[in-house]
Amino acid sequence: MRGLEGKAAVVTGGGGGLGAASALRLSREGCRVAVVDIDGDAARKVADSLPGEAVAITADVALEEDVERYLDEATNSFGMINFHHLNAGIPGSAGGFPDLSAAEFDRVMAVNVRGIFLGLRGAFRRCRAAEAAGSVVLTASIASLRGSADLIAYQTSKRAVLGLLHGAAMYGGPLGIRVNAVAPGIVPTALFTSAGRADMVRRAATAPLRRAGTPDEIASVVAFLLSDEAAYMTGETVSVDGGSSVVSTVRD
């Protein structure tokens, strides 16, 4: 894809699932990649497996000092960062309103919303200081667009990601910084096992395309949005969900 070769990218949550697939795709497209994950061993394993230059950075995206550190370490490794895939996210535990603790709500919001806010802010500060353009992709979710009775914190956080997206696109546009989001449907990764939601994969069969997605099907769209192929797109949320987001919720 045009404009990726020879550039540098940061992928948060790059140690597994969709982030690992994104890191691999960007590496194959010729990017140097900083794989950022709270699980340092997982980040190292992914970074070591990439075909191009890569570094692994252990960081918790919910912590301000960790975000500043991963941005500094990535910048020191590659000279500058052109692309950010702000992807790290957690589902939180499944359960309805009565079962959701305030601490659990805060934890999900801290990773999924604060983490993206801190990453965006850091990216904007560095682009402004270097007077450089850039491109950012946020990982939203089908939960950004549709309701769920038992992943309340998750769906709230993923809708907030769209708030950050729209503000960041408006702020970044005049500076030459594009910000878009990808909204995956159901893709079997560790996320579902950790949320006790293995049944979600069966539900994927109700999508118009009648199957769950694969991590590389999401990574293709991430790479496209980061690349110059999407040069006139910003503030956009692209659903990659086998058509699930157009299915009538009434029939569901």
Q: Which residues bind ligand NAD (CB under 6 A)?
A: 12-13, 15-19, 37-39, 42, 60-62, 87-90, 111, 139, 141-142, 184, 186-187, 189-191
Of 87 and 129, the one with the shorter C-beta distance to ligand NAD is: 87
- Say how many Å lie between the first and final Cα of the chain, rounded: 37
Of 3 and 188, the one with the shorter C-beta distance to ligand NAD is: 188
CA distance 156 to 151: 9
Give the nearest distance from C-beta 73 to ligand NAD in angstroms.
14
Instruction: Determine whether 171 is an active site residue.
Output: no
Of 40 and 167, the one with the shorter C-beta distance to ligand NAD is: 40
Bridge partners of residue 240, in order along the sequence: 184
Of 17 and 134, the one with the shorter C-beta distance to ligand NAD is: 17
Which residue in the list 70, 154, 171, 232 is annotated as catalytic?
154
How would you class 167 by CB atoms within 10 Å of its CB: exposed for 0-12, middle for 13-18, buried for 19 or more? middle
Q: In 3-state terms, what secondary structure has residue 135?
A: strand
Contact 212, 201 (CB under 8 A): yes
Give the nearest distance from C-beta 103 to ligand NAD in angstroms.
15
Give the nearest distance from C-beta 216 to ligand NAD in angstroms.
12
Give the nearest distance from C-beta 7 to ligand NAD in angstroms.
22
Contacts of 8 (CB under 8 A, 6+ apart): 31, 32, 33, 34, 74, 77, 78, 79, 80, 81, 82, 83
Q: Which residue, 188, 156, 158, 4, is CA-closest to 87? A: 158
Residues taking part in catalysis: 154
